[in-house]
Amino acid sequence: MSENRAQEITSKLWAMANELRGNMAADEYRNYILGFMFYRYLSENQLDHLRKSDLLTGNNFEELNKDYLKQAVGDELQDFLTAIAEDLGYAIEPEYTWQSITDKVNNNTLKPEDFQEMFNRFNDNTKINTNAEQDFSGVFADINLGNSRLGNNTNQRAKSLMKIVNLVDQFEYNDESGHDILGDVYEYLIAKFAGNSGKKAGEFYTPHEVSQVLARLATASAKNNGEPFSVYDAAMGSGSLLLTVQGELSKQFGKKISVRFYGQELNTTTYNLARMNLMMHHVPYQNMTLSNADTLEEDWPERKNVDGSEGPQTFDAVVMNPPYSQKWDNDDRKLKDPRFGEYGALPPKSKADYSFVLHGLYHLKDSGTMAIVLPHGVLFRGAKEGKIRQALIDKNRLDAVIGLPAGLFYSTSIPTVILVLKKKRECKDIFFIDASKDFEKGKNQNLLREKDIDKIVSTYLKREDVDKYAHDASLDEIKENEYNLNIPRYVDTFEEEPPVDIKKVVAEIQETDKKIRELNSSILEDLNDLVGSDEQSNQEIELLKELFKNE
């Protein structure tokens, strides 16, 4: 029921937000709605933490909080904020809690500058806990309070922002059992904004159904040994794919599993969105290590393991839906980079697809699994990519190739493929699945159904041939095809035409000829009836009669 409740709240929020945003683009208005939702979450999370701590006590906590607002100043306030930041990683001053802001809005006492001061004070307080500063600093930087589309002057813009505050505040983000579903609502809203952003959505959102396939493939061999499970996404977007991995692990083991999240994102706005998304799903800042930088330009995470030993930091699972065939700087110095140098060639400057593959594989544990979505060209393009593909196969790193339907993504209509890779494999075969025909056709994009996802994963786990769907190809077959991995070479989906019944076809032709003769006779009779005194008309009728006689 919680999923239905989350969708219900999302639909109402979405409808009302569309009315408020006017002529502002959906991807721009997203920053205001999601930003204020996140601020409310942080404030209420702090309030809940204070209820459970001994920093403030009493029967009526909200009144105590208001009293504290009047009394706490100077060092006393700073000590209070420091104690909060040490636990939560951030601290919101009593004057700028969500409750204080909404009270001012409702009482018409909020000054236009209060919004800017609210975010400024939050950002200043991120410096209190240096261990958490990277997780919270600048997280609200994309909320442009001076945007002219909010209003032509300061007062109009303030009124627009107050409307957003009221919109975010009026919903109770709990399901029927009282469980917090704010994170689910947030996730649904991200998907809604993605759907209205067209190709721009590809920068920050992977459709949930595709994320489910990647997550289930990457965690198929996961072990619940009591240790935190580590997952890395080097092109993390909004972080939804990372969260899906946690969800699939919980389903797999029947309980919530401790997960350490690692992710990098080049786009700063999207990076901020990912930080918000993870924390809105109650991921503690201690369990998330996120970076805003170019994955391919400089290696990240640092080449140092958690235990202090040298070498790349590696993870139980690597999942990715990187930008397809983008340009990258493939200068010769990268051949000395241990991420790429092992495979004898650098991916071409015009197509970085294999750069993401090699980067992710470099950071994968020997016992881990990597699942990445890419365009089909990686299966058969030659030159440097062909050389890298052959090296991956010869080193026995490629485990499976799974073809997906076209039209699943907002950013492109092309069909895509999932590559599953491992560093240590017992067999040398490569398993092929052609899932391109199993989907539900949608208005704007196609959809993988639950049965389609289950079929892909269960077939992958069984690794048995399925007629016109899957084939377990030996290394000899791959070599016979000169390392070309184009799926139709291994999975024959050709459907033979049903045999033609010649006698039936002849009979149908004869019946058609009979009907044509009968129709011609009828037309000739009608033409005879049209003969009259007009000589020119009669000549034309005679010509028509000759035509139908010949037919």
Burial of 147 (0-12, 13-18, 19+ CB in 10 A): middle
pLDDT at 306 (0 to 100): 54
d(CA 165, CA 143): 13
The phi, psi pair for 289, rounded to 5°, reads -125, 100
Residue 310, number of CB atoms within 10 A of its CB: 7
- C-beta of residue 358 within 8 angstroms of C-beta of residue 343: yes
**Token pair for 202:** 């590809």
pLDDT at 48 (0 to 100): 86
Q: Are strands 470-473 and 430-434 parallel, antiparallel or unpaired?
A: antiparallel
Burial of 290 (0-12, 13-18, 19+ CB in 10 A): buried
How much is the CA Rg of the chain, to the nearest whole Å?
Answer: 32
Write down the pTM of the prediction.
Answer: 0.85
The phi, psi pair for 467, rounded to 5°, reads -55, 125
pLDDT at 516 (0 to 100): 78
The interaxial angle of helices 208-218 and 450-462, nearest 10 deg, is: 20
Q: Residue 35 corresponds to which amino acid?
A: G
d(CA 272, CA 322): 18
Q: Residue 457 corresponds to which amino acid?
A: V
pLDDT in tens, the chain (551 residues): 477 888 889 899 888 888 888 778 887 889 999 999 999 999 999 988 887 876 665 544 455 555 555 555 566 778 888 989 999 999 999 889 999 999 999 999 999 899 999 999 999 999 999 999 999 999 999 999 999 989 999 999 999 999 999 999 998 888 777 788 888 898 888 888 887 776 555 666 888 999 999 999 999 989 888 889 999 999 999 999 999 999 999 999 887 789 999 999 999 999 999 999 999 999 999 999 999 999 999 898 876 555 566 678 999 999 999 999 999 999 888 888 999 988 989 999 999 999 999 999 999 999 999 999 999 999 999 999 999 999 999 999 999 999 999 999 876 788 899 999 999 998 999 999 999 999 999 877 899 999 999 999 999 999 999 999 999 999 999 999 999 999 999 998 766 666 777 888 788 888 887 887 777 777 767 666 666 656 666 666 676 666 666 65
d(CA 309, CA 284): 26
The upper half-sphere exposure of residue 130, i.e. CA atoms within 13 Å in the direction of its Cβ, equals 0
Place of tokens 């609502």: 185
pLDDT at 59 (0 to 100): 47
pLDDT at 303 (0 to 100): 62
- C-beta of residue 181 within 8 angstroms of C-beta of residue 5: yes
Q: Are strands 364-375 and 416-421 parallel, antiparallel or unpaired?
A: antiparallel
Q: How many residues does this entry show for the chain?
A: 551
3-state secondary structure of 447: strand
The residue among 422, 428, 409, 460 whose CA lies nearest residue 205 is 409
As a dihedral over the C-alpha atoms of residue 303, residue 308, residue 309, residue 314, rounded to 10 degrees, the angle is -50
- C-beta of residue 349 within 8 angstroms of C-beta of residue 330: yes
d(CA 347, CA 359): 12
pLDDT at 61 (0 to 100): 47
Sequence-distant (6+) residues with CB within 8 A of 297 are 328, 329
Region at 77 (left for phi over 0; alpha for psi -120 to 50; beta for the rest):
alpha
d(CA 453, CA 213): 6
Residue 93, number of CB atoms within 10 A of its CB: 20
Residues pairing with 416 in the sheet: 375
d(CA 386, CA 129): 49
The CA-based angle 296-242-205, given to 5 degrees, is 75
Chain centroid, CA 125 distance in Å: 31
The phi, psi pair for 428, rounded to 5°, reads -115, 5
Sequence-distant (6+) residues with CB within 8 A of 80 are 55, 68, 72
The residue among 534, 110, 89 whose CA lies nearest residue 81 is 89
**Token pair for 132:** 């958490």
The phi, psi pair for 78, rounded to 5°, reads -65, -40
- C-beta of residue 339 within 8 angstroms of C-beta of residue 359: yes
